[in-house]
Chains A and B, each alone.
Chain A
Amino acid sequence: MSSLQNAATPRVCAEPEVKVPVLSVRAIDKRFKTKSGDEIHALNKISVDLADGEFVSVLGPSGCGKTTLLKILAGIVPPSGGTLLYRGTAISGPQAGMGVVFQSSVLLPWWTVLDNVLLPIRVLKLDLTSYRQKARELLRLVGLEGFENSYPGELSGGMQQRAAIVRGLIHDPGILLMDEPFGALDAMTRERMNVELQRIWLSTRKTVFFITHSVSEAVFLSDRVLVMSARPGSLVENVRVSFPRPRNADLMSTAEFGDLTRHLRHVLGGSGAVHD
C-alpha cells in the first residue's frame, strides 16, 4: 500500500515540468524614446517562463529594467519586440487574475486605506460587503489594524507600501507581480513580512514574480532566482532554490544558504552593481 503511494509520487512531481507556463515572455525587447529624442535600450531579448505556483525573484542593478519587465508581464507596457504568452496564448494587454504591487505604493489620497485596498473589488465589480471583511483580515496581517479609516497621507511610507500589498492580494489573483514591495521597510518588519508572504504563498500557491534588491530575501522566498545585467537588461543567471518549506530564519545561517547568496552576489558584482 505504502509502496504504491511512493511509486505514484515521482510521477505527480514530474508533472509541472510538462505543464504550459502560466506566463512567459519570449525574446522581449524594450526601447524607450526619451523626451530629448534619444533611445534607451532597456531590455535585451529576455525570455522567462513562470510555472504555475512558482515563486520567482529577480535581482539586478538599479535601472536595469526590472520594473519595465514587470510592467510588460502585467500587460500595461507594450514590448518593442518579442511575445507575451498567457497560458500558452499570445496576449497584448492586461489579464484578469493578476495582482500588481508597484514600486511606489500609488494609493489614492481621497480614499481611506480600506477603500484603497478595495479598489480592485470595485473595478472587477465583485461583492464589496463580503470582501470588506477579508480586507480587514489582510490589513491586520500586515500590521495595519486600526488604520482602516486613515487616509494614505497620514501613514508612513512603509505603512503605505503594506496597504498597497493588501490591495494587490485582495481579489485573490492567481499571479502576483511585486516590485520591491518591502523596499521601504525596516529590517525587522521586512523579515516579518517575508515570513507572512511565505505563509500566504504556501497556503494559496500563487505564481509570484518578485523584484527585490536584497539577495537574502530573494533566496529565502524563492523557488528560482533570476539575475539581470545592467542596461540593456538581459538575464545572466537563473538558479533554482530547493530548500524545503516552510523555511524559517535559521535557514539564513546555514552554509548552503551562504554559498548561494555569495554566488548570486558574485554574479551581481559582475553585472556592474554593488549590493548588500
Chain B
Amino acid sequence: MTKAIASSNRASFVVVVLVSLGAGLLIWQLAVSFTHIPSYILPSPKSVWAALADGLTRSPTERASFWFHLIDTLRATVFGFLIGATLGIFFAACMAEYWLVEVAALPYVVGLQSLPKVAIAPLLVIWLGYGSGSKVAMAAVLTLFPVLINAMAGFRSTPRDRLELMSALNASRLQVFRYIRFPGALPMIFAGLNIGIVYAMLGTIVSEFTGAQRGMGVIMTQMQSVSDTAGVFAALVVLGCTGYVLISIMRLAQRWAVFWSESTRREIDQ
C-alpha cells in the first residue's frame, strides 16, 4: 500500500513538473509574441531551440559546436573537483587529527574563506596561462573549501562511545581513522562534495570568462560580443543540463557510499 501511494505520488510529481515547465515556456512565448521586447534582450523559445539544435548537431571538432567547448569545460570541472575534493578531505583529516596542523592552518583557512575566491581567477591565469591549468586550479580551489569545512565537522563529530570501543581494543590512530572516523564522516563529506561539484563548474566557467581558449565560458563570451542572445540562452541550457547530470552522479555515489545513513535515506525518499 505504501508502495502504491509512493508511485502515485511519483506520477503526479512528474505531471506537475511537466505542466509547470510547459506553462513557463508558454508564458515565455506569449511574452515574446505580444510585447515588443527586442530579440537581443529576450529571444523566443523557438530561436533558442534552433541555436541549441545547431550547437549540438555540429561536429565536435568545429569551434561553433557546443560539444567542442563542453568537453573542455567538463574535463576541467571533473579534474578540478577530484583534486579539490581529495585535498579537502586530506587537509581536513590532518587538521582533525593533529592540533598543531589545525592551528597552523587556521589563519589561511579563515583568510581564504572570507575572500570571494573567484576573484583569484585573473591571478591563476597569470600563473598558469590560458590553457586548462588555470581552469582546473580555479575549480579545485572552489571545491576545496566546502569539502574541507564539512569533512572537518564530520571527523570532529565522532561519537565518544565509538572512540571508547576502539580505545578498549587498543586500536592505533590509523585504525580509529579508517574504521570509525572516516566512514562516520562520510555523510558530512558528501554534503561537502554535493556543494563542491556545483562550485567546480562555477569555477571553471568563471575562469573561462577571464581568459581561455576553449570552454563554454569562451563560447558564451564570443556570443555575447555579437549579441547572439539566443546562443547564450542555449549555452545556459547546456550548462544547466550538464550540472544536473553531475549532481545526479554525485547523488548516486552518495547513495552507494552512505546507504546506511538516516539522512541519506530521507534525502533519497523524497
A interface, CB within 8 angstroms of B:
71, 74-77, 93-96, 98, 100, 102, 104, 106, 108-110, 119-120, 122-124, 151, 153
Task: Indicate if the CB atoms of B168 and A119 lie closer than 8 Å.
Answer: no
How close is A142's CB to chain B, nearest CB, in angstroms?
A: 18
Task: Indicate if the CB atoms of B183 and A123 lie closer than 8 Å.
Answer: no
Task: Indicate if the CB atoms of A108 and B180 lie closer than 8 Å.
Answer: yes
Contacts of B261 in A (CB 8 A): 109
B interface, CB within 8 angstroms of A:
161-162, 164-171, 175, 179-180, 183-184, 186, 258, 260-262
How close is A125's CB to chain B, nearest CB, in angstroms?
A: 9
Picked from B168, B180, B260, the residue with its CB within 8 Å of the CB of A75 is: B168
Contacts of B258 in A (CB 8 A): 110
Task: Indicate if the CB atoms of A120 and B180 lie closer than 8 Å.
Answer: no
Q: Which of A74, A77, A109 has the most CB of B within 10 A?
A: A109
24 contacts across the A-B interface (CB closer than 8 A):
A76-B167, A93-B170, A94-B168, A94-B169, A94-B170, A96-B170, A98-B168, A102-B165, A104-B161, A106-B161, A108-B179, A108-B180, A108-B183, A108-B184, A110-B183, A110-B184, A110-B258, A110-B260, A119-B179, A120-B169, A123-B169, A123-B179, A124-B169, A153-B262
Task: Indicate if the CB atoms of A100 and B260 lie closer than 8 Å.
Answer: no
Q: Tell me, in angstroms, the Cα distance from A31 to B16 when the chains sit together.
A: 61
Contacts of B183 in A (CB 8 A): 108, 110
Interface residues of chain B: helix, strand, loop or mixed (majority): helix
In chain A, what residue has the closest Cβ to B172? A123
How close is B86's CB to chain A, nearest CB, in angstroms?
A: 21
Contacts of A75 in B (CB 8 A): 167-168
Task: Indicate if the CB atoms of B260 and A123 lie closer than 8 Å.
Answer: no
Q: Tell me, in angstroms, the Cα distance from A42 to B39 when the chains sit together.
A: 78
Contacts of B165 in A (CB 8 A): 100, 102, 106, 119
Picked from A74, A104, A110, A153, the residue with its CB within 8 Å of the CB of B168 is: A74
How close is A139's CB to chain B, nearest CB, in angstroms?
A: 18
Q: Given A74-B168, A102-B164, A109-B261, list of 7 further CB < 8 A pairs?
A: A75-B168, A94-B167, A95-B170, A109-B260, A119-B165, A123-B166, A123-B179
Contacts of A74 in B (CB 8 A): 168
Q: Tell me, in angstroms, the Cα distance from A151 to B259 when the chains sit together.
A: 10
Contacts of B260 in A (CB 8 A): 109-110, 151, 153
Q: Which of B166, B170, B175, B180 has the most CB of A within 10 A?
A: B170
How close is A106's CB to chain B, nearest CB, in angstroms?
A: 5
How close is A100's CB to chain B, nearest CB, in angstroms?
A: 4
How close is B180's CB to chain A, nearest CB, in angstroms?
A: 7
In chain A, what residue has the closest Cβ to B169? A123
Q: Tell me, in angstroms, the Cα distance from A115 to B127 when the chains sit together.
A: 49
Task: Indicate if the CB atoms of A76 and B161 lie closer than 8 Å.
Answer: no
Given the known interface contacts A96-B170, A108-B180, the answer about A123 and B164 at a Cβ–Cβ threshold of 8 Å is: no
Contacts of B180 in A (CB 8 A): 108
Task: Indicate if the CB atoms of A123 and B171 lie closer than 8 Å.
Answer: yes
In chain A, what residue has the closest Cβ to B178? A122
In chain B, what residue has the closest Cβ to A167? B165
How close is B265's CB to chain A, nearest CB, in angstroms?
A: 9
Q: Which 9 residue pairs are nearest across A and B when measured between Cβ atoms?
A: A100-B168, A109-B260, A76-B167, A123-B169, A123-B171, A94-B170, A110-B183, A110-B260, A106-B161
